[in-house]
């Protein structure tokens, strides 16, 4: 009888341990780190907000990466000669990056351990200029 109680006890402990593993949420992917630019897609809209055209996805003509810290974003040109631009200060508010000295807000559309997709709404063009607005979606990997 004690043999069966030991087996039942071990099974209960194993079951309790497996339930604890399922309840733990996976760690959220970190924005901080180096992100290599893969492609950019441009979306052009008319004054009524209707999509007029899509261009891309295509790589940027000059290879670059973003080095992101908790409060700054550095653009690093990766083709020779390597060049690191001065930092852009930013604050993260949910899925938005708000640059310190620029009214542009950038939306984080996707953030995983290996993929970052940023969406930037372009400022509207006033007058009769077509397209009225150009938004960009940039894909990065690490």
* CATH number of the domain bearing residue 71: 2.40.128
Residue 14 counted as domain residue? no
How far apart (Å, rounded) are the C-alpha atoms in residues 133 and 101? 21
pTM (two decimals) = 0.75
Domain count within the chain: 1
Residue 127 counted as domain residue? yes
Residue 5 counted as domain residue? no
Residue 24 counted as domain residue? no
How is residue 94 annotated by DSSP?
T
Residue 65 counted as domain residue? yes
> What is the domain extent for residue 125?
33-141
40/20: higher pLDDT: 40
Q: pLDDT tens-digit profile of 76-88?
A: 999 888 888 878 8
Residue 2 counted as domain residue? no
Query: What pLDDT does 66 receive?
Result: 94
pLDDT grade for 48, boundaries at 50, 70 and 90: confident
Q: pLDDT tens-digit profile of 87-105?
A: 888 999 999 998 887 777 7
Beta strand 115-120 with 105-111 is antiparallel
Residue 80 counted as domain residue? yes
Do 4 and 12 touch, CB atoms closer than 8 A?
Answer: no
């Amino acid at each position: 009888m004690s043999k069966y109680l030991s087996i039942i006890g071990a099974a209960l402990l194993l079951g309790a341990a497996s339930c604890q593993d399922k309840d733990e949420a996976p760690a959220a992917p970190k924005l901080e780190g180096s992100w290599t630019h893969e492609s950019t897609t441009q979306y052009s809209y008319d004054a009524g907000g209707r999509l007029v055209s899509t261009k891309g996805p295509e790589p940027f003509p000059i290879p670059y990466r973003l080095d992101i810290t908790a409060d700054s974003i550095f653009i690093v040109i990766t083709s020779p000669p390597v060049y690191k631009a001065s930092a852009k200060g930013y604050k993260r508010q949910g899925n938005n990056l708000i640059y310190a000295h620029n009214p542009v807000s950038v939306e984080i559309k996707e953030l995983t351990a290996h993929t970052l997709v940023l969406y930037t709404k372009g400022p509207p063009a006033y007058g009769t200029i077509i397209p009225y607005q150009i938004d960009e979606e940039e894909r990065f990997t690490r």
